[in-house]
Amino acid sequence: MPTLSVSAILVAARCHPALQAAAVILATFVLEDAATVITAIAVQAGAIPLPLALGALYTGIVLGDLGLYGLGALAAGLPLVGRLLPPQRREIACDWIAGKVFRVVLVSRFLPGVRLPTYTTCGYLGADLVRFTLAAAVGTAIWTTSLFVVAWHLGALLAAHLAEWRWAAAGVIVLLILTAQLLRARLHARLITGNG
């Protein structure tokens, strides 16, 4: 029975750009940073074209951001959730976010642990969707491109020094990213609950 390596799968999918794009987009829904690192290393290895990779990354991440906004907008229609924020306070929050949505969304892209609550709150408050989307796209372009460039150079180092073991090293890097995000989430939870 033949065994398939990650590189073999990427090479096999090379003839199917739509399949590659779909895989990258879906991967961003799971973990954006890890998807960016793996995709950059795949581009560096020649398994996926650069424009397709970046386009799929940007598309997947912005779609995920819009999904968070949408969840907030859906929650706004639920009577139980509506009771959590009195109408007067909701109106104050809506007025506040109306003039700051671009800056708030853009800054939250770079602060760990604040995108989920910020983006869903924007949806809940009915923040301007065009400004929200524009800020999400600009923030994604800056953050994802920066991470992509670092990972691409890392892929070059892995290819030069580890050859066929570069995919195993990439897996270790993804595990490190996952571990760092879990530790960051636990620290954030401790700080919020006051147990830290």
Full residue range of the structural domain in which residue 157 is found? 6-193
Domain count, the chain: 1
Per the domain annotation, does 183 fall within a domain? Answer: yes
What residues contact 58, with CB distance under 8 A and at least 6 apart?
137, 140, 141, 144
Per the domain annotation, does 85 fall within a domain? Answer: yes
pLDDT tens for each residue of the chain, 196 residues long: 343 444 455 556 666 888 899 999 999 998 888 889 889 888 888 889 999 999 999 999 999 999 999 999 999 888 887 777 788 888 888 888 888 999 999 999 888 778 899 999 999 999 999 999 999 999 999 999 998 998 888 767 766 565 666 666 666 666 676 676 667 667 656 666 666 5
Per the domain annotation, does 107 fall within a domain? Answer: yes
Per the domain annotation, does 129 fall within a domain? Answer: yes
Per the domain annotation, does 1 fall within a domain? Answer: no
Per the domain annotation, does 99 fall within a domain? Answer: yes
Calculate the alpha carbon distances from 19 to 4, 9, 39, 80, 101 in Å: 17, 11, 14, 41, 35
Per the domain annotation, does 154 fall within a domain? Answer: yes
Residue in 134, 75, 80 with CA at minimum distance from that of residue 104: 134
CB 124 within 8 A of CB 73: yes
Per the domain annotation, does 36 fall within a domain? Answer: yes
How many angstroms separate the CA atoms of 15 and 132, rounded?
36
